[in-house]
Amino acid sequence: MQFQTPLIPARLIRRYKRFLADIQLADGREVTAHCANPGSMMGLTGEGMKIWVEPNDDPKKKLKYGWRLVDHENGHFTGVDTAVPNRALKAALLAGEVPEFADYPTVLPEQTYGENSRIDFLLRGDGLADAYIEVKSVTLSRQSGLAEFPDSVTARGTKHLGELAKMVDQGHRAVMFYLVQRTDCDRMGLAADIDPAYAAAFDAARAAGVEVLCYDTRISPEGVEVGKRLAFR
């Protein structure tokens, strides 16, 4: 998945009201950028951090920049836009680049299911059980090499786990797909201390037959691509 507009570097001043960030551009101008991330973004909002933003000239958009990446300035990046994982995974699914789903020819994004819910992807193929895939963006890392989810309490995420378990009960495949938007992690686990209810729902869903997949990403200011499968701890 390539960014639609070339990203430009900036420095973070502060992130506030969840979806807003004041930034300083390379020419010294201070502007407000859109932050497409409802989570806490723990560890990613320090003043002065190098970031990459995507400019736009859409007259319908009040904010002319969107925050896309944190540049850790050590060769590693974190993607902060929670819409990116779905776009990157869709491209990988359509290209048959995720082995666990390579046999599914039909990829349907954003399908209604369960109780007033939408599944990120519904996959179908002749002779195959329908596969319901819920995607989560993972950006938290509190221990070197270990990515964790969630970074804040997520009642919505807990509900999704219950919905997936119901799909298994109905004879379908149900998959919790964690896409780690960090290039400095080689394994993943749950942040049960942050959201014990989510961790309990995860254990129940897994016991019910929900599959768990975790993949890393290749990230640069040019784009984000699904990488290789990671170990889930």
Q: How far is CA 68 from CA 77, 84, 157, 158, 166, in A?
A: 10, 9, 22, 26, 34
Residue 60: pLDDT band with limits 50, 70, 90: confident
- Which residue, 41, 63, 79, sits at the end of a domain? 79
- Which residue, 48, 79, 110, sits at the end of a domain? 79
DSSP label at 38? -
Report the percentage of the chain scoring pLDDT > 70.
100
Per-residue confidence (pLDDT) for residue 30, from 0 to 100: 98
pLDDT tens-digit series, residues 110-131: 999 988 889 999 999 999 999 9
- Which residue, 28, 55, 79, sits at the end of a domain? 79
Same domain, 53 and 124: no
Domain of 179, CATH number, reads 3.40.1350.60
- With respect to residue 1, please indicate whether it lies within any of the assigned structural domains: no
Per-residue confidence (pLDDT) for residue 46, from 0 to 100: 97
Q: Which domain holds residue 226?
A: 84-232
Going by their DSSP bridges, the two strands 50-55 and 65-71 should be labelled as antiparallel
How many structural domains does the chain have? 2
Same domain, 34 and 21: yes
Going by their DSSP bridges, the two strands 185-190 and 231-232 should be labelled as parallel
Determine the 3-state secondary structure of 169 from DSSP: helix
Same domain, 27 and 111: no
Same domain, 206 and 128: yes
Same domain, 153 and 226: yes
pLDDT tens-digit series, residues 159-172: 999 999 999 999 99
**Mean pLDDT along residues 69-96:** 97
Same domain, 59 and 23: yes
Same domain, 23 and 112: no
Same domain, 135 and 35: no
Q: CA 138 to CA 189: how far, in whole Å?
A: 10
Per-residue confidence (pLDDT) for residue 150, from 0 to 100: 98
